[in-house]
Amino acid sequence: MANTYTQIHLHVVFAVQGRHAAIPEAHAERLYRYITGIITERGQKLLAINGMPNHLHLLIGLRPDMALAELMREVKASSSKFINEQRWVAGKFAWQAGYGAFSYSTSQLPDVIRYIEGQQAHHRKQTFQEEYQSILDRFGIDYDPRYIFSAD
């Protein structure tokens, strides 16, 4: 795309189906490397990745030639398949439908990266549900609490 200049930074949050603690801590780094590979192979830039056993946070530099929905569909489908092939969990692993995506300016990136890198410490004080609702509230996103944490 000649003469197209963009700066799109998105913080994406998504959960394990049913928000079960299904991502084994011993395998988290390997999963993060796998997801990094998916994003990089699609020509996008991963700036940060971290999470907890029940959810993940990504900070992505998104190029305008790819829709976020397409990228997330690929990340979630491929990483689910990878986790199932590795047999890290009993039964079938799946991500919950949907995700949250929040945009940030370049000047905000260091704070967002620190936030993502500090997930383990952060979640000693706040549950994933509290964290997610806080992000939605901060961005002024209307939501129905009955549905944002559905078990699908």
Residue range 9-143 forms a domain whose CATH class is alpha beta
What proportion of the chain, given as a percentage, has pLDDT over 90?
68
pLDDT at 26: 94
Domain boundaries, the chain: 9-143
pTM above 0.85, yes or no: yes
The band of 31, judged by pLDDT with boundaries at 50, 70 and 90, is very high
Closest CA to 13 of 59, 61, 69, 56: 56
Q: Please give the Cα distance from 81 to 60 (Å, whole number).
A: 22
- The position carrying tokens 């979640």 is 123
Please provide the DSSP assignment of 79-136 as one string: HHHHHHHHT-SSS---BPS--EEEEE-GGGHHHHHHHHHTHHHHTTTS-HHHHHHHHH
pLDDT at 128: 83
pLDDT at 151: 56
The band of 37, judged by pLDDT with boundaries at 50, 70 and 90, is very high
